[in-house]
């Protein structure tokens, strides 16, 4: 997990990011208008490259990315699978060996109209479950469900458009995260594991892993990767 670096660390990290990013990444960064967002993009790419370099036989600079079906990025010739998400100054990267994986983090927004959004994008069962909760519990439940759903779609490599209402997850933040039903294939629900991640009280986050739950290890960055930052 990457958290916002201290100011005194940021310049060194940005310089390292500029050194490691590919020409395509530099081009993408230049298209971002706000400096804050350009810097966030650079730090995220640094986080991605230095972390993945721990799992593949390559230096951070030499890692190449290609798009698989539906646009999900992979590293050619590697069985490593990964998923990246960021919100509210927190960036999460999930990495697995030969198992598709998705991760999503969202900042909790107390001003959203949970039932209105759920009626538009969630399944009927999820909307009904959300409406049945006490009003004071709906906000966290909404973002719990949202991250569970989006993590699963990221694991599949799907975009969110046209798919969110075609499957159902458990809604309550106090209940175990479960993929309950998948409309397009009844067998898929039993083939994925959802795990809620603790990233602070102002965010909700979920990891989706293909297959049964594996041993999970969590690291904070950059403290765990000093060799790439010297």
DSSP string over 183-204: TT-TTGGGGEEEEEE---TTEE
Same domain assignment for residues 196 and 224: no
Same domain assignment for residues 66 and 121: no
Closest CA to 156 of 90, 220, 81: 81
Same domain assignment for residues 52 and 78: yes
- What is the model's pTM? 0.88
Which stretch of 70-74, 113-117, 149-153 has the lowest confidence by average pLDDT? 70-74
Give pLDDT, residue 230. 30
pLDDT at 88 over 80: no
Cα 135 to Cα 171: distance, rounded to the nearest angstrom: 14
In total, the chain counts a number of residues equal to 230
Domain span at 116: 107-210
Cα 41 to Cα 206: distance, rounded to the nearest angstrom: 21
Same domain assignment for residues 69 and 111: no
- Give the residues across from 93 on adjacent strands: 84
Task: Work out the angle between the directed axes of helices 124-131 and 114-121 (0-180°, nearest 10).
Answer: 160
The more confident residue out of 151 and 70 is: 151
Give pLDDT, residue 161. 58
Which stretch of 21-35, 58-72, 152-166, 210-224 has the lowest confidence by average pLDDT? 210-224
Same domain assignment for residues 77 and 111: no
For residue 28, what is the enclosing H or E element?
Answer: helix 23-30
Same domain assignment for residues 164 and 197: yes
Same domain assignment for residues 116 and 162: yes
Same domain assignment for residues 118 and 53: no
The 10s digit of each residue's pLDDT in 149-192 is: 999 999 998 766 558 899 999 998 888 999 999 998 888 889 99
Same domain assignment for residues 51 and 10: yes
Instruction: Report the domain count for the chain.
Output: 2
- Give the phi and the psi of residue 205 in degrees, each rounded to 5: -150, 145
- Show Cβ contacts of residue 2 under 8 Å, excluding neighbours closer than 6 positions: 43, 44, 47, 86, 90, 91, 92, 93, 220, 221, 222
Beta carbons of 162 and 106 less than 8 angstroms apart: no
């Amino acid at each position: 997990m990457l958290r916002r670096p201290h100011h005194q660390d940021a310049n060194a990290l940005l310089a390292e990011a500029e050194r490691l990013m590919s020409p395509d990444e530099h081009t993408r960064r230049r298209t971002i208008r706000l400096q804050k967002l350009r810097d966030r993009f650079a730090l995220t790419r640094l986080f991605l490259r230095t972390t993945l370099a721990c799992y593949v036989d390559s230096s951070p600079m030499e890692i190449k990315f290609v798009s698989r079906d539906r646009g999900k990025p992979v590293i050619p010739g590697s069985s490593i699978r990964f998923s990246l998400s960021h919100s509210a100054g927190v960036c999460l990267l999930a990495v697995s060996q030969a198992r598709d994986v998705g991760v999503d983090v969202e900042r909790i927004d107390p001003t959203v109209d949970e039932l209105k959004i759920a009626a538009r994008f969630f399944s009927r069962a999820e909307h009904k479950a959300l409406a049945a909760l006490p009003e004071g519990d709906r906000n966290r439940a909404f973002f719990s469900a949202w991250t569970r759903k989006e993590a699963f779609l990221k694991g599949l490599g799907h975009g969110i458009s046209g798919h969110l209402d075609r499957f159902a997850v458990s809604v309550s933040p106090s209940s175990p995260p479960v993929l309950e039903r998948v409309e397009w294939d009844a067998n898929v629900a039993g083939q994925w594991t959802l795990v809620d991640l603790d990233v602070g009280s102002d965010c909700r986050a979920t990891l989706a892993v293909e297959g049964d739950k594996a041993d999970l290890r969590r690291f904070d960055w950059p403290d765990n990767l000093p060799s790439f930052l010297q």
